[in-house]
Amino acid sequence: MENIKKLFGTRLREIRKISQMTQADLAELVGVDPKYISRIELGIASPSFEMITKLAEAFKLTPDSLFKFSHIETKESLINHINRKLITSDLEKVKLISKIIDEVII
């Protein structure tokens, strides 16, 4: 499974940018240092339940909406998706996909 801290951080950044806020703006609204917002967005820091509530309130959202990141595609999630498809494919399809990858990457 994806690193939930990174997914949460990506989702927070997405909502912040849609809301046209800077990290400093958000930090001021929730009463923390802008560096802490940066660390959350990078997936380094883990916000407490209290902080998650404050972040949601800053965007006028419910806390659970900060965890809606099924639409976020990361390199790791795409590789996992490709691997699942490859495992169920027959040898000829895997060979074809391998050739395509070689053409695209090389």
pTM of the predicted protein model: 0.69
Which of the pair, 11 or 72, is modelled with greater confidence? 11
Q: Where are the domains of the chain?
A: 4-67, 75-105
pLDDT at res. 1:
42
pLDDT at res. 12:
97
pLDDT at res. 2:
52
| Contact predicate 69/11, CB 8 Å | yes
pLDDT at res. 54:
98
Q: Which CATH superfamily is domain 4-67 in?
A: lambda repressor-like DNA-binding domains (1.10.260.40)
pLDDT tens digit string along 18-49?
A: 999 999 999 999 999 999 999 999 999 999 99
- Say how many CA atoms lie within 13 Å of 4 toward its Cβ: 5
